[in-house]
Amino acid sequence: MAQVEATTERVVAADAEKVFDALADYSGTRERLLPEHFSEYEVREGGDGEGTVVHWKLQATSKRIRDCLMEVSEPTDGELVEKDRNSSMVTTWRVTPAGEGRSRVVVTTTWKGAGGIGGFFEKTFAPKGLARIYDAMLAKLAAEVEK
């Protein structure tokens, strides 16, 4: 099985603390940021950053729906890590200052892909599809924090 990785980023016109707080607000802001690919969103523990456990279904393609139960940690300042209890998927959000009143948000998702020909196609196409989903989420984040 090969490691698969999808990364996307965006610079938003808001300071890093405000952006990070919006991303870490699983019981409020976060649900509003989700594009139509996410469903059945439910905070099961916590709700604000470290220690949060949140469930959602992610429909990346018409045939593939992931049932995700994410455990959230904050290993360093400006970083949220969401580890799926149901799979090898890990999503890392990094928020860093990018000049006065601006911040850069980088989201990276990794997982162990399938082997064989299926794994080849997964490694080739899945990162682009997932990056599009997170691009939509980052656009909603920008609209939320740039108010």
The two tokens of residue 99 are 């000049």
Average pLDDT over residues 34-41: 97
The two tokens of residue 134 are 């997170």
Domain ranges of the chain: 3-145
> How far is CA 97 from its chain centroid?
19
- At residue 119 the predicted structure's pLDDT band, cuts being 50, 70 and 90, is low
- At residue 41 the predicted structure's pLDDT band, cuts being 50, 70 and 90, is very high
Chain position carrying tokens 């952006």: 19
pLDDT in tens, 62-114: 788 999 999 999 999 999 999 999 999 999 999 999 999 999 999 999 988 76
Measured between alpha carbons, how far is 65 from 38 in angstroms, rounded to an integer? 9
- 27 φψ region: left (φ > 0), alpha (ψ -120 to 50), beta (else): alpha
The two tokens of residue 93 are 């959000």
The two tokens of residue 132 are 């599009």
The two tokens of residue 115 are 């082997």
Q: What is the CATH number of domain 3-145?
A: 3.30.530.20
pLDDT of residue 122: 61
Residues 6+ apart with CB under 8 A from 47: 25, 26, 27, 28
Measured between alpha carbons, how far is 69 from 84 in angstroms, rounded to an integer? 5
Residues 6+ apart with CB under 8 A from 90: 81, 82, 83, 84, 109, 110, 111
Q: Determine how β-strand 53-59 pairs with β-strand 65-73.
A: antiparallel
pLDDT of residue 62: 76
